[in-house]
Amino acid sequence: MALPTFNTKSPTIKRILKEATELSSHPDPTLHAAPLESNLFEWHFTLQGPPSTPYSEGAYHGRIILPPTYPLRPPSFRFLTPSGRFEVNREICLSISGHHEETWQPAWGIRTALWALRAFMEGDAKGQVGGMEMPEKERRRLAGESKTWKCQGCGGRSNKDILKEEGGEAGEGSANEHVVPEELKFGFRDQMAAAEGKDMAKDKGMRVVTTPAPDPSPASASAASPSPPTLSPPEAIHPTRTVPVASASHVPPPLPTATQQTQSDGVPAWVDKAITGLVAALAVMIIKKILL
């Protein structure tokens, strides 16, 4: 299939081309999907109905619209073949579609999305956007007619012919490849609301648990605050500030007394007497010289 020229350096274009190549090189007998020759962002798919359901004998055709930022944002899906399960040509509200982007993961691809879409056909609409309620008999009738439904955009081929020509031989794919991730099973509006409610309840529960934690923490911090200053600072402050200040305040008085005592005790009494005697002798000698 010849594709128009695109910017192959774009991550989105690279991803789309990679998925198109993978789907064509590893065909699935139960589904086929490929981009249009004129637009890589619009795909057409043909999907065999899920087994053991009113749709098991049917083959359904639809469109996939990829956003410009694919795979960061999910694709959207529309069925073109009447099935009695989904409205024709109306966007489907599923966890894999653009209506609920928070559940989409870029690691998933178009093949995985189509597996999940087929799995969702087994359930009921339950108020789902794009869903329909119809008796089982009517759904089986539409399933029988769906095989001959033709898409003009796909060369006018019927759904049965597309699966036969493009789907490969039965048993070519591995059964493990058809496992749908758990996150893709919550697609109905009420189910997703219930799941969100549970998540919010869990979040609230966590908040209730965490709110009392900060209350005792300030108390404990305030109670523990006096202990750190008494333990850590004393080791560094007491030896430098308190001890020298106390010694400086009490030591100066004894120092002069000690010096005075050492001075008085260090000079003997006879030295003073000798000095006075010498002074007296000198005075006598001076007087004698004057008189003589």
Selected catalytic residue, list 33, 64, 93, 154 = 93
Query: What values do phi and psi take at 188, rounded to 5?
Result: -75, 150
Place of tokens 């879409």: 117
Burial zone of 27 (CB within 10 Å; 0-12 exposed, 13-18 middle, 19+ buried): middle
Helices 216-224, 227-237: crossing angle, 10 deg rounding: 30
Helix (H) or strand (E) holding 248: helix 243-250
Place of tokens 């619009």: 42
The pair of three-digit structure tokens given for residue 227, joined into one six-digit string? 């202990």
Do 47 and 143 meet the contact criterion of CB atoms below 8 Å apart?
no
DSSP string, 81-130: S--SSB-BT-----TTSGGGGGG--TT--HHHHHHHHHHHTTS--TT-TT
Q: How many CA atoms lie within 13 A of 223 on its CB side?
A: 6
- Tell me if residue 93 is catalytic: yes
Residues catalogued as catalytic: 93
